[in-house]
Amino acid sequence: MTSFFYRMIRFRISSFFLLLSFFCSFFISENLLGQETYLFKSPLKLGKYEGLANYTFKIVENDTVLHGTFEIEQSNLNALLNKEDSSFLFRGGFENGQATGPWVFQFGEYQSGSQSNVVDYEYRVLISGVQEEGKGAMENGMPEGPWDYQVSQIKNSEIEKVLFKSSFLFNEGVPQQNFHIENDSYTLVGRFLRDGLAHDEWSAYSTDDINTNESWFFEEGLLRKIISVEDGTPTVIPIFKDKYDETKTIPLNDAYIQVLKATISTEGTLDFKKGIFGLLSQNIDYYQKIDTLLTQLGSSNFEPEFKVKVPYFPLDSEQISVLEKIDSDLKSAKEIRNTHLRNGHLNIVKRTNEDVLFHYNTIQVFSEEFIIPIEKLIALKEAGIIEYINLVHFLDQLWPNGIPNTHIKVPVDGNTRTFELPNATDFDFKGNNLNALYQITNYATLSMKAISEKLSSHLTDHEQLQMLNGVEQGLIEQNESLVAQIDSVSSTFSAPYQHTLLNIKSLADSHLNEYASIENPEEKLTYGNKIQKCLSQYAMLTNTLLSLPDKTEEINTAYQDAVWNPFMANVMEEEVKKRIGAAYSKILIPHFLEEAKTQLTCENVGDLDSAIKFINERMLELREEDTKKLERKLRKEKDPNEIIKLFHQPSVAKEGKNEH
Amino acid sequence: MSTKYTIFIWLVVFLVGLPNTVTGQDEQVVLPEYSKYKDPKTKVWLNTYGNIRIGKRFFWDAQTHFRFQETEDTPFVGQIGQIYNRHAIGYIYSKKTNFSLGGVVRINFNTDEDSEDRNVVPEWRIWHQYQFAMPFYSAMIYHRIRIEHRWTQGFEENSEYIFRNRWRYMFRAKIPLNDHKLKPKTFYVSPEAELIMQSGKKVVASPMEDLRLTTTFGYIATPRLTFAAGLMYSQGQDLYNGGYYKQAWTLRFHMYYSPDFRKVKNKLPEIHLND
């Protein structure tokens, strides 16, 4: 009995070791099963850089995935000796296609000196030029730890002068703690919060002039004020000085500077090309250079996240549509202005005909007093930053000489004549809002159209024919490119998309037929101009539709959340906010396709296009917002138009709250 | 039939006999000349496994199992034999490694219709578990080490608790059938082998308590809900006579659920455990 017992203990101990070895064998076999890596050594082209590459990779599902060390370099002795050589060297490593480990990027522009000497068994030639070097470590394609970028002026193979130098500390691509940037005229120091938001005072000192410096004061990403000291005289420029209901976090880039420019009340108080922004944009350019290279190698997270906050003033759907109307009106007004002011014939006629001169000058007045100021607002819209601008404040400053009048005073040969539309009383320019601005824009556009009609009789038949010719050529080109665009890809799309695209094609065709059947040249010109705009909008809608499957895919992916499944011990994708996703893909997308297939006209094509774009953008925003209320409302709602209305309503939760 | 009956009585005597009577019998236990396999029993287990996330790294492991056992009157599915309440606090060391520590209350029902003894007795356990997962091509492989400290008693009035340790190792694979990985809407097959050894004063010649060989088919309904069913064959030494081996065929039905009631805000670093 006892021996049996001991046998069992022995058995237990040995089984323990058996188990242990079983275990180990699994860990080892897992490594052994990793894919084989291959070595590549041959010339390679990376954008504009072409050189000898040396790297290892593996094959995953028929794709080449960089894995292991990577090096590419190029230097040409002949070029160096003859004139100048552009050399480069990029060295680092990848793990599963993502840049990882220490990296160095060098770019050089060198000329050789005329002298050479022989040292040991080598010929030595001294070089001069400029060398750029960025180095630091990466993890999963993102910069990690300290990164330095230095641009040095080299003379006779020695650093003569440091032209630019920046040092950052990153954590998963997010800049951390203090940083330092200098070029030959300024030195900037500043710091970031852990989440990459600019914080505290960022100061730049001029290296040449002790009395010149510039400081930006951030509060958790929000730039409160700028103090610029020029020759010892400080100027305080308040920026986002108020308390804001909502803020958004955006990258510190050119768009941000545009927001600042539009926010600063007095123009021209700060030169954004110099000082802090000059240094930052220089640095961003260098980092982008590296990012472009790594993106071409398939590792795309390098661009660092320098982040700032801006106040957020969301526009409601009505404001957005008014803005669209202002934009489209402004475009027509500009078109009329450009064709007339540049028309050689009119320029001659106006010298002898006072009426023509009057109208010609009126166009100029409209351009200066109406079009140019309104363009400033549209520029914000086009840069996608309009919602970061306090519109009340901005519109207030749009008219330094006061809001314009319907009664336009036009200088004509030393006298002043006035221009006014007969229905001028219908327009109300009062109020500091978009509706008033639309009235102003609309007034300008209608006036320009009226003037254009008046002037058309002064254009000779020959001029008219020429204009018609121009329009016709444009129409044919537009139609051809639309047809080509649709034909080249439509077969790869699903049936609902194909039907919709075919409808757009036949609509465009029918407009052209109608145009051809008009005989009166003036009518023909008017109609031609109208469908020119229409065709370009069809093309825009076609583009939107062609990119819609990719966009919906992107949106669906965004609505997936990674969930760790404890029972499988792996990470699974789970769809979140299912009701919103269903409303989008089961109701809205089919609705849009149906609309474009059956209801499309010249008048509504623009609206449909912007509705699709809006919904796509809104879907991405809603992913981040608190949408409980919306989801509840969507439960019963099946009517696409009602759903679009619901999507236009802002979510209850403030974005600013979600950021913390 | 009559041999079956005598074996059954015999088994009941050994399974539920008082520890002191067993001590009395100790001297009389005679190992058979050759190992003897008893007729297999059939059982049905309905198991629920909850894994409720309560923090970034902690979860509440809540398992409730209903185990039925065939009896003379109710063959096959049988009557309720045990109700398990197994709870623990789990710690997520990494996506592939987790540990648990907790307790079990098992309610044992007397399945012997002829017995005059108590109908229900509790059994207490402390358990801890170490689980390791590793991806293997499209499948996942799991190693589970579970150690239990267990206090059991028989159905007789005033029976004393006996203490044993259980040493369990389970090897399991989950192989997706209709996809290249384990994800929602996937069926999988899961072969599994578990060896349960035991030790303790009362364990003299029967260290191998159970060897369980199971094949399960499962369906991952959502990332938070999985259903599975399988058939298990098990065999193990009788506690009081190591020469006798019990056998069983068990139909097992499982539901795995892992809700997460934490606020969205606290969930953000869902999978980035090492941030």
Exposure of A657 in the CB half-sphere (CA atoms within 13 A): 8
Kindly list the residues from chain B whose CB atom is less than 8 angstroms away from the CB atom of residue A573: 183-184, 223
Q: Which two three-digit tokens encode residue B32?
A: 């058979």
The lowest-confidence range among A14-18, B133-137, B201-205 is A14-18
- All residues at 6 or more sequence positions from A244 whose CB lies less than 8 Å from its CB, including other chains: A222, A311, A312, A656
Q: Per-residue pLDDT averaged across B53-82, rounded?
A: 86
Nearest to B106 by CA among B79, B88, B87: B87
Q: A503: helix, coil or strand?
A: helix
Decide if pLDDT at A215 tops 60. Answer: yes
From chain A, pick out residues whose CB is under 8 angstroms from the CB of B260. Answer: 563
Say how many domains are in chain B.
Answer: 1
Using pLDDT thresholds of 50, 70 and 90, give the confidence band for residue B269: very low
Residue A28 confidence class, pLDDT cut points 50, 70, 90? very low
B142 touches chain A (CB under 8 A): yes
Q: Are strands B162-176 and A49-60 parallel, antiparallel or unpaired?
A: unpaired
Please report, for residues B88, B169, B170, B173, B240, the alpha-carbon distance to residue B144 in angstroms, rounded to integers and kept in the order given.
Answer: 15, 6, 5, 11, 28
For residue A493, give every residue at least 6 positions away whose Cβ sits within 8 Å of its Cβ, in sequence order, or none.
Answer: A501, A546, A549
> B73: distance to nearest CA of chain A, Å?
37
**Side chain identity at residue A458, one-letter code:** H
Please name the residues in contact with A519: beta carbons below 8 A apart, sequence gap of 6 or more.
none
A490 pLDDT higher than 80: no
> What residues of chain B, 202 to 221, have a C-beta less than 8 Å from chain A?
204-205, 207, 220
Once rounded to an integer, what is the mean pLDDT over residues A604-622? 92
> Does some domain include residue B268?
no
Predicted ipTM? 0.84
Q: What are the strands, taking DSSP E only, across A82-157?
A: 85-95, 98-99, 101-119, 122-139, 142-155
- pLDDT for B83 beyond 80: yes
- Higher-confidence residue of A660 and A233: namely A233
Higher pLDDT, B97 or A257: B97
Percentage of residues in chain A having pLDDT higher than 90 = 12
Most confident residue range from A193-202, A250-259, A488-497, B247-256? B247-256
- Considering only CB atoms, A570 lies closest to which of B140, B167, B222, namely B140
| Residue A83 pLDDT | 74
Q: Which of A5, A30, A569 sits opposite B95 (nearest CB)?
A: A569
Q: What is the pTM of this model?
A: 0.49
Residue B203 falls within a domain, yes or no? Answer: yes
Report d(CA A23, CA B169) in Å as an integer: 11
pLDDT band for position B233 (cuts 50, 70, 90) = very high
Q: How far is A15 from chain B (nearest CA, A)?
A: 11
B265 domain-assigned? no
Task: Say what the pLDDT of residue B151 is.
Answer: 95
pLDDT category at B266 given cuts 50, 70, 90 is: low
User: What residue type is assigned to position A65 of the chain?
Assistant: V
Q: B240 CB near a chain A CB, below 8 Å?
A: no
CA–CA separation, A582 and A575 (whole Å): 11
Whole-number Å distance between alpha carbons of B86 and B81 = 16
Q: Across all residues in chain B, what is the average pLDDT?
A: 86
Full residue range of the structural domain in which residue B254 is found: 2-260
Do A103 and A135 contact (CB within 8 A), yes or no?
yes
CB contact under 8 A, B140 and A571: no
Res B268: pLDDT: 47
User: A584 or A202, which is more confident?
Assistant: A584
- Chain B, nearest residue to A658 by Cα: B265
Residue B178 lies in a domain: yes
Per-residue exposure over B18-44, b if at least 16 CB sit within 10 Å of its own CB, e if not: bbeebeeeeeebeeeeeeeebeebebb
pLDDT at A411 over 90: no
At A121-134, the pLDDT tens digits run 887 787 888 888 88
Is A312:A654 a contact under the CB 8 Å cutoff? no
Chain A residue with minimum CA distance to B267 = A563
Backbone angles phi, psi at A419, to 5 degrees: -125, 135
Query: Do A225 and A231 form a contact (C-beta atoms < 8 A)?
Result: no
- The answer to the question of residue B271 being in a domain is no
What are φ and ψ of residue A129, in 5° steps?
Answer: 150, -150
- Determine the Cα angle at B101 with ends B97 and B105, to 5°: 135
Average pLDDT for B9-29: 45
Chain B: give the shortest CA distance to residue A62, in Å: 16
Hey, which bits of A277-420 come out as E strands?
A: 307-311, 408-412, 415-419
List, for residues A69-92, the tens digit of each pLDDT value: 888 887 777 777 777 777 788 888
Summarize the confidence of residues A339-366 as an average pLDDT. 76
Per this entry, what is the length of chain B? 275
Chain A CB contacts of B95 under 8 Å are: 564, 569-571
Contacts of A135 (CB under 8 A, 6+ apart): A102, A103, A104, A105, A147, A148
Domain CATH code at residue B252: 2.40.160
Residue B31, helix vs strand vs coil: coil
With respect to residue B144, please indicate whether it lies within any of the assigned structural domains.
yes
CA distance A202 to A306: 13
Q: C-alpha angle A360/A361/A365, rounded to 5°?
A: 125
Mean pLDDT of chain A: 80
Residue among A298, A370, A381 at smallest CA distance from A337? A370
Q: Which residues of A touch B271 (CB under 8 A)?
A: 562-564, 571
Q: What is the mean pLDDT of residues A533-555?
A: 91
What is the C-alpha to C-alpha distance for residues A264 and A329, in angstroms, rounded to an integer? 28
The distance of Cα A635 from the centroid of its chain, to the nearest Å, equals 35
What average pLDDT score do residues B105-132 get?
91
Spell out the domain ranges in chain A: 1-34, 38-221+274-302, 317-459, 517-658
Percent of the residues in chain A that have a pLDDT greater than 70, as a whole number: 89
What DSSP letter does each residue of A284-297 carry, written as one string?
HHHHHHHHHHHHHT
Residue A633 in tokens? 């409302």
